[in-house]
Structure 1
Amino acid sequence: MILNTGNRYIAYFQIVFFLSLLIIFPVISASADNDPAIRSFDGLERVPSTEYSEVYRKPGIDFKVYSRIALNPVDITFRKNWMRRYNSGQKGLSNRVTREDMARMKKKISELFDEIFRDEISKLEGFSLVSEIDSDVLVIQPKIINLDVYAPEINNTLGSLTFVDNAGEGTLY
């Protein structure tokens, strides 16, 4: 947009300024996209994936030396102050989450995660699932951090259903 000031020098300056912005911004954004290795805070390198939103791995690790996988139980932590934040939005005491509810959710999520993860590992060719640790065993210690459950099943009243678009979110680490 060029201001009508009657001064052709100001109009000329504005045109040059906007043209220079059009040239500079694509160069800056292109140089930011050419970063060869996007790394996480703990030094893991981002790997392109079509199945997951973000996948990271430790650089320099040769996964060809592993033929077996040991899966440790998943460690689950809720989002900071999740219970307090959830309970502050509830009107009645019967809809509030207790520490026992959180422990029950962790147990249920852990069991479900273990079942699904073991099923997915069993589908991998060239890997077998084991419980003992050896030099050719890749030990996986899964963690779910910042778990934010939007509508927890705490009130098991018969005939009561809750429908949500999204169950929640968390980070598999």
Structure 2
Amino acid sequence: MGRKSQPAEVKAAKGNPGQRKNVVTPISVIPVAGISPPHELSKSAVPVWNELVKPMVDAGFLRQTDTVVFGVFCQAVADFRRAVKRIERDGEFYKVKSNHGEYIRQHPACSVKERSMRIIMQYATEFGITPAARQKIQTGQVTQPPAGGLFKPKSDDQEKPAGRSAITFN
């Protein structure tokens, strides 16, 4: 399999270090007021949406067509926060009594937290908002080489080294 395709915004932010021809598609900027949360979001995910949508739009990483995917990301963040609060309140483990004795089990919120973390990381990578994704974008911004190039061409009036013959190929 080949590399995953990247959004146009991420490609533009990385620059074009290889100087290959890029197909440029116009990027439409949508005002924040035009993007509303999907109706499927839970009550706990709407504040996450409101917290994150403006920085994402300002950075150019969110469009109207991305609202459902971004909604899934916000829902995962809300689930993660809720699971962390429950674990802090109840603890990571609890005791269970059975016919065979008493044993310790992991709180179900721990699996919700872990699943949410995986989803958050997956979608954050897709949106280009993880530190590694930002680093890739920042390293893609290449400065132009000096006017004469990286290596200055030799001029014909320079002396040739003594004791060596110059070989030229035409």
Q: Shared fold by TM > 0.5?
A: no
Higher helix share: 2
Larger RCO (CA under 8 A, 6+ residues apart): 2
Higher strand share: 1
